[in-house]
Amino acid sequence: MALSIRQKRVNGVEGYFGFIIGSQTVTPDLGIGNIDIWTKPLSTPNCSAFVFLNFGTSTPTKVSVKLSELGLQGRNGYKIYEVFSNIPFPKIYYLNSTFESNVNPSGVFFGKAIAL
């Protein structure tokens, strides 16, 4: 199940957005060029969701981040799933591993990391 997210303007700042998850307003955890990276621990133990949001409009953007940059802390590795298809990536990722995804213009990658 995906997170319920609705978009809203944060503090009235033009072009800057936050999201409402439950009753919490959240803002991006990281920003890399035209990519915002959002992370959120899930209610399932040892499980977090993350989103790469591409504000670009011309070409896909390759996003590369270490799992530690996503705020993950599990030392035994993670299995990462693409949320919409629920298909796992074929390898185990560790905190110093780099996860990469190409994100289409005005698109998202929605992932879930489950600690092993």
pTM score, whole prediction: 0.75
Q: What is the pLDDT of residues 55-98, one digit of tens each?
A: 888 899 999 999 999 999 999 999 999 998 999 999 999 999 99
Record the tokens describing residue 78, joined without a space: 């993670």
* pLDDT of 44 over the 50 cut: yes
The CB-based long-range contact list for 25-34 (8 Å cut-off, 24+ gap) reads 28/53, 29/70, 29/71, 30/65, 30/69, 32/63, 32/65, 33/61, 34/61
Q: Residue 6 pLDDT more than 60?
A: no
The domains of the chain, with CATH numbers, are 28-115 (2.60.40.1180)
